Structure 1
Amino acid sequence: MPRKYDEQTRAKAVRLVTEHRGDYASEWEAITTVAGRLGMTPETLRRWVRQAAVDAGEVDGVSTAQAREIRELKRKNAELEQTIEILKAATSFFVRESDPRQR
């Protein structure tokens, strides 16, 4: 099961990679070293570093805030679609109940 890391741990790990990137032959070497010291997988840390670059506007992509907003809008949209289906069913029920030909 994946471990959850708090925001301080994420920020610290990303900061360490960013600050010490030049001390290593490659960014991947910096990531694997920092990840090993902090007890996380290098891939997890690599994703955090990439997302931090997007959030900082350094590279194109969907920021964390935008992703959160998209998830929220999708959730609201699903709720509204469910509400519409319920209202359609209720409307059709009441139309049938009020139709004198059905009695």
Structure 2
Amino acid sequence: MPKPYPKEFRDDVVRVARGREPGVTVEQIAKDFGVHPMTLFKWLRQADIDDGAKPGPSRVDSVELREARKRIRLLEQENEVLRRAAAYL
């Protein structure tokens, strides 16, 4: 899996794409920065969600959800171990 772009880089590219002059396409900006156009479109969509312009889960919500799922998975594993241990006692 490719290494993710740094947050500062993504924010700079989104800022440039939002402030582009008429006639300049998102594809041209993506090419100038060396990213795929679909990647830039995803970054723009996520920035709109994070800014509250569009509905959806923000980055913060996604991180919290990922951590909660990891914690739930760990607790389920611990419960399974305790259930098996109780069967032997």
TM-score tier by shorter-chain length is: over 0.9
Aligned to 1:70: 65
CA deviation vs aligned residue, 1:54-89 (integer Å, no higher than 9, x gap): 000000011000011110000000000000000000
Aligned pairs, number: 89
SS at match of 1:62: coil
Runs of 4+, deviation exceeding 3 Å: none
Q: Which runs of 5+ in 2 are unaligned?
A: none
The structural deviation recorded for 1:3 is 4.2
Supply the AA of the counterpart residue of 1:17.
A
Supply the AA of the counterpart residue of 1:91.
A
Instruction: Output the TM-score relative to the length of structure 2.
Output: 0.93
Instruction: Output the TM-score relative to the length of structure 1.
Output: 0.81
Q: Which runs of 5+ in 1 are unaligned?
A: 95-103
Supply the AA of the counterpart residue of 1:2.
P
Supply the AA of the counterpart residue of 2:29.
V
Q: Which structure shows the higher helix fraction?
A: 1
The structural deviation recorded for 1:4 is 2.2
Structure number with larger C-alpha Rg: 1
Q: CA RMSD in A?
A: 1.3
